[in-house]
Chains A and B, each alone.
Chain A
Amino acid sequence: MTEPVIALRGVRAELGSRPVLRGIDLTVHRGEVVALLGANGSGKSTAVRSVIGQVPAAAGEIELFGTPQRRFRDWARVGYVPQRTTAAGGVPATVTEVVSSGRLARTRFGVFRKADREAVRGALELVGLADRAKDAVDALSGGQHQRVLIARALAAGPELLIMDEPMAGVDLVSQEVLAETLRHQVSEGATVLLVLHELGPLEPLIDRAIVLRDGCVLHDGPPPKALGQHALPGHDHVHPHAPAGAEPIRTGLLS
């Protein structure tokens, strides 16, 4: 197999003095779509934020495109969608202005050329917001905000997309648009790591799921299939080979 796009080995991280990641291994190969799942507080957001250097790793190794993350500078290859409910700031801004921020990584000293403006326009077309380009972001719905944030990440033409709960608080129409956008990116060869609360409409796209629980990797393999009784909300996952008397594993995936 080719060199991994993202590689985490034995990564530990703390928030305050509370350990949030307790030594996780995580690898994403080129062209893969990997979902990071787990209940609230399982460390999935922290894991993603440690990949991009927002949360410092207390121990372990993190590599991006084969380069140790500390020395990684080629950020135009990475598109990041942070967990946000809004794309707006304290001053009005148009959709184009916000998405243009994502193109800065490809410009020299922030000077925009024709190709840069076209890339911004292209990113807006991908998420179906080209007709809203000149509107203020304040005027958009929650799902449209999320589409703006994704267009911003796509504007630099990244090879790797990292998304933190892109489906949170998104209406059905926008969910479909996001799934279609992602499908397009994957068909063009993009690698994707995304934090999800539930698989939802993205399920058919996902090659592999990594489930975290209390800062440890609980499952790394094909996405868990929710079938029959398992599909019912709030069920407990009981492993028959678990030691007798062990607590049932509550992944919280379906709650």
Chain B
Amino acid sequence: MEILNYAFMQRALLAAVLVGITAPAVGIYLVQRRQALMGDGIGHVAMTGVGLGFLLTWSPVWMATLVSVLGAVFMELVRWYARTRGDIALAMLFYGGMAGGVMFINLAPGGSTTNLSSFLFGSLSTVSESDVTAICLLAAFVVLVTVGLRRQLFAVSQDEEFARVTGLPVRFLNLLTAITAAVTVSVAMRVVGLLLVSALMVVPVAAAQQLTRSFAATFAIAVAIGVSATLGGTVTSYYQDVPPGATIVLLTIATFIALTLLATPLTRRRARALAAAQPGGDPAECAIPAGRKGRDEVGA
């Protein structure tokens, strides 16, 4: 494995594994609460953070984390207080975030929009030592929250109203979900890029759902798909000189399509087994008396 001899590839592969774990781990809760596009919105906001990082010559990863966490908290507040006009407020936040990023990076000394592109689409070879430290710390936080609080987050994402009546701190858990999603965006930014982060949060979960009946299994399979895709994409981009972010996302979508095709006969067989198991038999299809059917066909 000559690929492992290069320090930059070691860093890239480590970052890829961490992204493969964290993005679906957060994404599953977003999909469950039907906010699949939230990651995309946070990605846009994070651009302002990257721009500010360049302008102030601070680490773009930490700056993106800070700004996207603020953006995510703002989005949660909008969800509480401005239910009716919420979508307009969010649209302004997203596009403001994108415009802010472009503006700040052009104001930065020697900065131009080309600096931004490695953040927009991911660039493994530029993952630095300090980036890896940041990614490791942030990923540890994400795993701690999404695994440690899985029962609470499941309850809140499944039925917010019910969760409140069981005494769960619903507002805190919603904020925590938003913050964790924002942190994940910063983790994944270097590998898949801000514009493709959301795909890695959502598509592995959607792909896993084709096979599973339980939340726990969906979680495990989504993470497995995420890690396979990020590792596969990273290795492919090393040998074939293709952009890693795009390769990873296309791999997850290919997995989704493959599993969907595979799952169709599987669900059919499962439904048949279920019908057979039911006492008295539950016919899967309406039985039309043969004579009647013939007559109808003649009439038509």
> Given A93-B215, A110-B149, A135-B213, are A156 and B166 also a contact pair (CB < 8 Å)?
yes
Cβ contact within 8 Å between B152 and A91: no
Cβ contact within 8 Å between B166 and A89: no
Q: Mark A116-143, 1 if CB is under 8 A from B, else 0.
A: 0000000000000000001110010000
Distance between Cα atoms of A172 and B236 in the complex (Å): 58
Contacts of A52 in B (CB 8 A): 164-165
Cβ contact within 8 Å between A91 and B166: no
Considering residues A54, A75, A94, A104, which has the most beta carbons from chain B within 10 angstroms of its beta carbon?
A: A104
Cβ contact within 8 Å between B33 and A90: yes
Considering residues A53, A80, A92, A156, which has the most beta carbons from chain B within 10 angstroms of its beta carbon?
A: A92
Cβ contact within 8 Å between A94 and B165: no
Q: Does A67 contact B (CB under 8 A)?
A: no
> Given A94-B214, A112-B151, are A89 and B159 also a contact pair (CB < 8 Å)?
yes
Distance between Cα atoms of A156 and B167 in the complex (Å): 12
Task: Name A91's contact: one of B28, B161, B162 (CB within 8 Å).
Answer: B28
Tell me which residues from 168 to 227 in chain B have a Cβ below 8 Å from any Cβ of chain A.
168, 205, 209, 212-216, 218
Cβ contact within 8 Å between A93 and B149: no
| Total contacts A-B at CB 8 Å | 95
Distance between Cα atoms of A109 and B32 in the complex (Å): 21
Contacts of B36 in A (CB 8 A): 90
Q: Does B247 contact A (CB under 8 A)?
A: no
Considering residues A78, A110, A134, which has the most beta carbons from chain B within 10 angstroms of its beta carbon?
A: A110
Which residue of chain B lies nearest to A86 when distances are taken between CB atoms in the complex? B159
Contacts of B150 in A (CB 8 A): 110
Cβ contact within 8 Å between A93 and B166: no
Contacts of A78 in B (CB 8 A): 165
Cβ contact within 8 Å between B218 and A91: yes
Interface range for A: 20 to 34
Q: Does A225 contact B (CB under 8 A)?
A: no
Which residue of chain A lies nearest to B222 when distances are taken between CB atoms in the complex? A91
Cβ contact within 8 Å between B151 and A91: no
Contacts of A73 in B (CB 8 A): 167
Cβ contact within 8 Å between B162 and A92: no
Q: Does A40 contact B (CB under 8 A)?
A: no
Q: Does B70 contact A (CB under 8 A)?
A: no
Contacts of B209 in A (CB 8 A): 91-92
Q: Mark B143-164, 1 if CB is under 8 A from A, else 0.
A: 0000001111011011101111
Contacts of A102 in B (CB 8 A): 162, 166
Cβ contact within 8 Å between B214 and A105: no
In the complex, what's the smallest C-beta–C-beta distance from A156 to chain B, in angstroms? 7
Cβ contact within 8 Å between A101 and B166: yes
Considering residues B32, B150, B157, B159, which has the most beta carbons from chain A within 10 angstroms of its beta carbon?
A: B159
Task: Name A101's contact: one of B33, B149, B162 (CB within 8 Å).
Answer: B162
Task: Name A89's contact: one of B158, B216, B274 (CB within 8 Å).
Answer: B158
Task: Name A53's contact: one of B151, B164, B168, B215 (CB within 8 Å).
Answer: B164
Tell me which residues from 92 to 113 in chain A have a Cβ below 8 Å from any Cβ of chain B.
92-94, 97-98, 100-102, 104-105, 107, 110, 112
Task: Name B151's contact: one of A74, A75, A100 (CB within 8 Å).
Answer: A100
Q: How many residues of B contact A (CB 8 A)?
A: 32
Cβ contact within 8 Å between A75 and B213: no
Cβ contact within 8 Å between B215 and A94: yes
Distance between Cα atoms of A169 and B33 in the complex (Å): 24
Contacts of B165 in A (CB 8 A): 52-54, 75, 78, 80
Cβ contact within 8 Å between A139 and B205: no
> Given A89-B33, A91-B32, are A82 and B216 also a contact pair (CB < 8 Å)?
no
Q: Mark B97-108, 1 if CB is under 8 A from A, else 0.
A: 000000000000
Q: Does A7 contact B (CB under 8 A)?
A: no
Cβ contact within 8 Å between A89 and B163: no
Distance between Cα atoms of A89 and B154 in the complex (Å): 10
Cβ contact within 8 Å between A134 and B162: no
Which residue of chain A lies nearest to B162 when distances are taken between CB atoms in the complex? A82
Task: Name B159's contact: one of A82, A100, A107 (CB within 8 Å).
Answer: A82
Cβ contact within 8 Å between B162 and A89: no
Tell me which residues from 150 to 166 in chain A have a Cβ below 8 Å from any Cβ of chain B.
152, 156
Considering residues B167, B209, B218, which has the most beta carbons from chain A within 10 angstroms of its beta carbon?
A: B167
Can you give 19 contacting A-B residue pairs, CB < 8 Å?
A54-B164, A76-B167, A82-B161, A89-B33, A89-B157, A90-B31, A90-B33, A91-B209, A92-B212, A92-B214, A101-B158, A101-B159, A104-B151, A104-B152, A105-B168, A110-B151, A110-B152, A134-B213, A136-B214
Known: A91-B218, A156-B166. 10 other contacts (CB 8 A): A52-B165, A90-B157, A91-B32, A91-B205, A92-B212, A97-B214, A100-B151, A101-B154, A105-B167, A139-B213
Q: Which A residues have a C-beta under 8 Å from some C-beta of B?
A: 52-54, 73-76, 78, 80, 82, 84, 87, 89-94, 97-98, 100-102, 104-105, 107, 110, 112, 134-136, 139, 152, 156
List the 3 closest pairs (A to B, CB-CB), nearest first: A75-B167, A101-B155, A136-B213
